[in-house]
Amino acid sequence: MPTPKKSLGQHWLFDSKSLGAICDAAEIAPNDELLEIGPGLGPLTVELTARAKHVTAIELDEQLARELPARIPAANLTVIHGDVLQFDLSQLPAGYKVVANVPYYVTSLIVRSLLESPTPPSRAVLLVQKEVAQRLAAKPGDMSILAVSAQFYAQVSLGAVVTADKFDPPPKVDSQVVIFDVRSKPLFADIDPKNFFRIVKAGFSEKRKTLRNSLSGGLGLPKDEVEIILKKAAIDPGARAETLSLEQWHALGLAWSGA
């Protein structure tokens, strides 16, 4: 068995219960087209090819990509050696799903790449670091730019926890399944996403400060102007970015763009 490469964040998961939980969260139908990211030795791939119409597996490790078709001689499997961040997702059929156990170090980039794509999946089920999964699904009070970004594009929910001892080699932390049901229509049709995210980034630019201060610095506006915008959006100028809901960011974006 190939030795896991630290540089690629490789941790093999063979636990059948955990693999089943990942697949169950994806609600795979017999006619589904799937994208798997980083199949490694293929234990999840076996489950996916048994349930779906077709699986496209993208593997960055050249040796593993070369050996996977022999390991799993399934007629409905296509293995591609490459980087998913460079992959053209428009090659996949409409309504495709993503199911993957992704390396911790690249989780945020993969989430952004999938959700911000012009041709996103209908659902993505990723096994990620538990702390990151919970950040992605956070509620107002614990929000971050990562949570706002993910929830802008998808409904985010949590699935099974997979403890570190289920992996070989065990990572230092536990993992958790996170489920993205991608929105078929924009959450807010009346605001340009660029304006929405500009105000979000400004709000989180100095996380420990109040919105009055962080927005003033992030947008380059006097504090009295920021207060007027916040009041127009019915938001307390003394509030902090992590306490705002997506609806409040939307109201704030509209108040700012119309200021």
6-182 maps to which CATH number? 3.40.50.150
Q: Can you tell me the distance from the alpha carbon of 188 to that of 15, in angstroms, rounded to the nearest whole number?
A: 41
What b-and-e string marks burial along 38-64, b requiring 16 or more CB atoms within 10 Å of the CB?
A: bbbbbbbbbbbbebbebbbbbbbbeeb
Residues of the chain with CATH 3.40.50.150: 6-182
List for the chain the helix, strand, coil content (%; round to 5).
45, 20, 35
Token couple for 124: 């993505």
Element (H, E) at 181: strand 175-182
Assign domain 193-257 to a CATH class.
mainly alpha
End-to-end CA distance of the chain: 62
Q: How many CB atoms lie within 10 A of CB 150?
A: 24
- Beta carbons of 85 and 95 less than 8 angstroms apart: no
Q: What is the pLDDT along the chain (259 residues), one digit of tens a residue?
A: 555 455 555 677 999 999 999 999 999 999 999 999 999 999 999 999 999 999 999 999 999 999 999 999 999 999 999 999 999 999 999 999 999 999 888 999 999 999 999 999 999 999 999 999 999 999 999 999 999 999 999 999 999 999 999 998 888 999 999 999 999 999 999 999 999 999 999 999 987 899 999 999 999 999 999 999 999 999 999 999 999 999 999 999 999 987 5
pLDDT digits (tens, 9 = 90+) for 22-32: 999 999 999 99
- Beta carbons of 9 and 105 less than 8 angstroms apart: yes
To the question of pTM greater than 0.95 for the whole model, the response is no
- Beta carbons of 107 and 124 less than 8 angstroms apart: no
CA-based nearest residue to 19, from 169, 136, 175: 175
